[in-house]
Chains A and B, each alone.
Chain A
């Protein structure tokens, strides 16, 4: 009941936004919707943390879902606040028409609905449908500006992700086929909560085939190399709030799908899915390191960094064990917080300078002081410097690797991280100092507030890591790794 209410909220608000009489109030209406979603998610999460998993018919929310849900609700609300000002500025500049801005808010609500759906359903089949819908809902957001590059990016996005999701459907089918032996033809045979229990009795060959398709399919959506080719285009051509949401939340949804499958298959066929995840993860980080060094577009660089971090999460899941999964969960949270803050501040920079070209952006700290500072903090955080949370995640992952004896993996991991660090720092530091010749203008509070909150949350995670939070994270990790 509560879950249905949660899901209906964005749908209803999409309807309101589409039919609102005046364009001026659409933005605030949409923000109200996002706020209501946040409140409901907080309420639900509190309930699940206190009382254990919520298993009601179609819906299944456990601790794993809760962490993703919390990230989603908080970040989309904060991005929504930012978007009001961002879209307002675009309207003012004449880049967008009022009708465009209304479309934006409608699609944001739909997009949020599909992402929430991914996280709350029990059946793997319904989860597939939801992930496919996220592609469809965000397609128009990616191709929002009607320029040539946006159309190209949107086309690549739709095509590559649809192919990936189609492959994932093969994986879901094979999983269903493997569970048929145990259940007969039952409609519960695709439910994750049920499958988790009988994981050990499922047919291993079918499960292995299934996971290959799943990682190829959902891995495309998550941005693992070599299926990542849509990601830099889509994340750079979309409007900045959308880029933030896609990078911080959509990739999480896809990774969520992979994690659900990984739990079941690891129980039945140990080490198979872990090795696949390790392989894809390492390749992703390597590819990201390479492209970060040569790309010239600011947002593309940030997108490649997303690929790198999704790779790191995959590596962490591949290493497994308690510490591996704790590291993965911390890294997911850290990446979402840091990357969204980065995209928001980068959006501000891009709007101010009028270009995304890294070489032509200099003197950021002078011309937009506060955004520039947030941007610096974000960059330092994303390359893994303490006291930012990504450092904590990476440290735990290295520790996990050493503890389980994967010395080669740990060594490779550190080398690749170093490469990314060097490449990224070399690109972003010149942007900070110097003089740009542009008039310094203060950014509105509505833009700075979300960035500030995200920074504080990130630092809290990285520096302080309150006790209950750590316990909760360990709970989540146990639930993921608990079937081991």
Chain B
């Protein structure tokens, strides 16, 4: 792998991680969706670059599907949803923004620590990308846990999926095409169903703040 290729893949991977951290800092919905779109775009670029490096065309197909789905269709659907639910701003997160940021930094350290003993991935770029993908996944999970609005939870889930795709692209240069297609389809349907349920929550409870979902206790 050429030096430039390695460098640009590194930069893109760190960019994806940065997008996750930026998502942690912003309480505004519109900005969150834009950050997600940016992250997906960087992911698609990475897929295309890896496809160029390994010469496998199906990564190009995957890159274009990522662009179509996660840069156009899903953000449009999310924007439509937040307009219908009329939620513009997130409430104060559980930890506060500095706390969430520090926890995310700790997660990144943890991710590198956990993937340290994976020695069979001989290319250094792959180990780094695996660690970053784990970090992005866990930060997406943190986003879901600490935020209270329903749509933010959906966006957190989508960021987790981004992290997973990074893992797929970097460790295995893309899984068999039919599996990838199935995963994309699943993600799309999942987002639509979650959007519908977010509407229902808003209709039933007059708010999309999920911390009021406390009726079912023990």
Contact B171 A155 (CB under 8 A): no
| Residue A232 CB within 8 A of the other chain | yes
Smallest CB gap from A212: residue in B:
B114
Q: Is the interface of A mostly helix, strand, loop or mixed?
A: helix
| Residue B113 CB within 8 A of the other chain | no
Contact A206 B120 (CB under 8 A): yes
C-alpha spacing A467/B116, complex, angstroms? 52
| Option from B56, B160, B167, B201 in Cβ contact (under 8 Å) with A173 | B167
Contacts of A441 in B (CB 8 A): none
Contact A152 B193 (CB under 8 A): no
Contacts of A177 in B (CB 8 A): 121, 171-172
- Interfacial residues of chain A within 136-194, with CB under 8 A of chain B in the complex: 136, 139-140, 143, 146, 148-149, 151-156, 158-159, 162-163, 166-167, 169-170, 173-174, 176-178, 180-181, 185, 187, 190
| Residue A205 CB within 8 A of the other chain | yes
Contact A163 B175 (CB under 8 A): no
Q: Contacting chain B: which of A124-132, A313-321, A322-330, A381-389?
A: A124-132
| Residue A2 CB within 8 A of the other chain | no
Contacts of A136 in B (CB 8 A): 186, 189-190, 193
Contact A148 B215 (CB under 8 A): yes
| Residue A295 CB within 8 A of the other chain | yes
| Residue B210 CB within 8 A of the other chain | yes
Q: Is the interface of B mostly helix, strand, loop or mixed?
A: helix
Contact A159 B153 (CB under 8 A): yes
| Option from A154, A173, A233 in Cβ contact (under 8 Å) with B171 | A173
With contacts A162-B157, A170-B167, A178-B120 known, is A129 near B190, CB below 8 A? no
| Residue B1 CB within 8 A of the other chain | no
Contact B193 A169 (CB under 8 A): no
C-alpha spacing A156/B214, complex, angstroms? 11
Contact B213 A156 (CB under 8 A): yes
Contact A133 B186 (CB under 8 A): yes
Contact B204 A148 (CB under 8 A): yes
| Residue A123 CB within 8 A of the other chain | yes
With contacts A166-B164, A205-B120 known, is A126 near B182, CB below 8 A? yes
With contacts A148-B205, A151-B200 known, is A126 near B179, CB below 8 A? yes
C-alpha spacing A430/B178, complex, angstroms? 54
How distant is B175 from chain A, measured CB to nearest CB, in Å? 6
Q: Mark B160-181, 1 if CB is under 8 A from A, else 0.
A: 1100100110011101111100
Contacts of B175 in A (CB 8 A): 125, 173, 176, 190
Q: Name which of A133, A156, A158 has the most chain B CB atoms within 10 A of its CB.
A: A158
C-alpha spacing A190/B183, complex, angstroms? 15
| Residue A291 CB within 8 A of the other chain | yes
| Residue B107 CB within 8 A of the other chain | no
Contacts of A185 in B (CB 8 A): 56, 172-173
How distant is A456 from chain B, measured CB to nearest CB, in Å? 35
Contact B179 A129 (CB under 8 A): yes
Contact A139 B197 (CB under 8 A): yes
Smallest CB gap from B192: residue in A:
A136
Contacts of A125 in B (CB 8 A): 175-176, 178-179, 182-183
Q: Mark A284-305, 1 if CB is under 8 A from B, else 0.
A: 0000000100110000100000
Smallest CB gap from A236: residue in B:
B216
Contact B218 A291 (CB under 8 A): yes
| Option from A152, A154, A300 in Cβ contact (under 8 Å) with B215 | A152
Contact B179 A190 (CB under 8 A): yes
Contacts of B119 in A (CB 8 A): 205
The 3 closest A-B pairs by CB, nearest first: A125-B179, A129-B182, A177-B171
Can you list 10 A-B contacts (CB < 8 A)? A125-B182, A136-B189, A136-B190, A151-B201, A155-B201, A169-B164, A170-B167, A177-B121, A187-B177, A190-B176
Q: A125-B182, A190-B176, A190-B179 provided; 8 other pairs, C-beta below 8 A?
A: A126-B178, A129-B183, A146-B200, A152-B216, A159-B157, A187-B177, A206-B118, A233-B216
Residues of A within 8 A of B (CB): 123, 125-126, 128-129, 132-133, 135-136, 139-140, 143, 146, 148-149, 151-156, 158-159, 162-163, 166-167, 169-170, 173-174, 176-178, 180-181, 185, 187, 190, 203, 205-206, 209, 232-233, 236-237, 291, 294-295, 300
Residues of B within 8 A of A (CB): 56, 114-115, 117-121, 133-134, 137, 141, 144, 150, 153, 157, 160-161, 164, 167-168, 171-173, 175-179, 182-183, 185-186, 189-190, 193-194, 197, 200-201, 204-205, 210, 213, 215-216, 218
